Amino acid sequence: MEILLQLVYSGVALGMIYAVIAFGYQLTFQTS
């Protein structure tokens, strides 16, 4: 159970990072 919780937590963290990167790329392409 502990491993599953850690996997979900790391998955959410990775998703947040990817969302921030995608948002940054969108912002960069919109301005140029």
**What pLDDT score was predicted for residue 25?**
94
pLDDT in tens, 1-32: 899 999 999 999 999 999 999 999 999 998 87
- pTM greater than 0.75: no
**What pLDDT score was predicted for residue 32?**
73
Concatenate the DSSP letters of all residues of the chain into one string.
Answer: -HHHHHHHHHHHHHHHHHHHHHHHHHHHHHH-
* CA 12 – CA 32 distance, rounded (Å): 31
**What pLDDT score was predicted for residue 31?**
80
